[in-house]
Structure 1
């Protein structure tokens, strides 16, 4: 597990030397530089943690399961990851609690390669039903167990397919270049990931969106509680002031994202800090699309959690999330 401290002061929006409140030391873990974590990266780049009184340590774990393990094991106070991941950690008997919404749009989208689309007579304007039918027999790449895998299984279920028999799901890790090469060489026929990998495939290889969930174009998943912050209950109870400051910092980041002038500043800072290798124009277009899916508030509701359960239980029939798991799973 790679651990590093961000030099937040360098990126702060304003000088904070005169901040009078005590700084609470908090460590927050996330998996990768996925666009699904943009609100968190905005909070770091815009200095809202420091402004809220948080002395932040950022831990990059490499995967969602390792993020959960970091929180449960105590090497991180808070984890940023999928709501489904939190619920399944609770199902295993771990008292992991969602403390705030980070992203309310299912950012893992699916694209088909140019060859696969042509073979199935598909265009970007083809119907949802036509896109579903083309899933049969596909070889589709994603990073591993998690959001990309789940969205494949969700649409397979909708198409009446068995994802373990009627298609091949290929785990390729997090290297963007691997996906582009695999698509180009015909080793896979599609990709299920968060931005920017699908967008690069469209731009460079003529791929098409099959299901652009990241833009809210799939009605059944529009507004879905995808990414949350979570912590162990005993940490929450032992550190109420630190928790409140983290929540304040994340809310300030959301407020920035929904303020056009401040969002423009944040966009450039986040690009420079996390996505400098991504072409500016591509990043800007992804940012504009992503901001539309940001929550107005970090507050989590029962209805949001119920949608997560409904979504997950669509394809996790042998290991469904039950009522006991949901009870007490989020701060109200």
Structure 2
């Protein structure tokens, strides 16, 4: 006689296991669901229930709530609720002596910026040092963009200075915001400065950044910054060479208005709009020195230090030479075949 046994549904047993999580884990699971669906009201309800039930809250719980509030703060309909609970959650977190991390500060900075309080956003970033936490570029964005939108130039420049002090580099959105701020407040030299930062760090600009540039050179740029400063042509050419051939670095020079037109660059590097040939830009003197130091550092690690120092001294004594040929590499050039080997003839030809 055949018998059958019921082993149960594996899916049901898995579900049962999930329902037996501790209160903290259940709260986090449901909170994450609210965060994914951008359901702020449901998240607030969960938060209030957790407080009533005396659920032990940790940094992850608070960060999830802060992130949701900061995200929703851009929605005009829910902005007020997001701001109210966002700051309340942060105050609760601090009351429990849970130290904020970079994510916490970024979220509260976004909430402060949504409220129009760039000063508070920047102040919170400065406090990160008290917790031995390093900010990221995104941490600075709320304060920087808030100051730029309110045309508070000096405060925006102060944020930029702090970003640089922390060893962080601006990207296109931040440079474009500072560029627009400088243009709208008529700070020609700052515009020039950010144009060069844009040139060095951005391969191509977005349409939004392009519009900022067009507006500047079409209106303010045609008048601001042209103080009639003149230089000898040879001096300007030397400055261009020092900077890699791309720009002179002397600020706004010359007189007259800019001609702003849209054009395309042909594959051969010629501008079909003005007919000028674009040139290749090399690294400037500062970048060259950094590159040389990097190469020297690698050589000191891999080679015998005394030998490399002797080589450096020899280079300094023979600084009039423009190029140094490595005889060993010349002798081995194109010798990677079965019968190949070191060719003395090739080295001799280079010496003759």
TM-score bucket of the superposed structures, by smaller chain: under 0.3
Which of 1 and 2 has higher RCO (CA within 8 Å, sep 6+)?
1
Return the index of the structure with the highest Cα Rg. Answer: 2
Q: Which one has a larger percent strand, Structure 1 or Structure 2?
A: 1
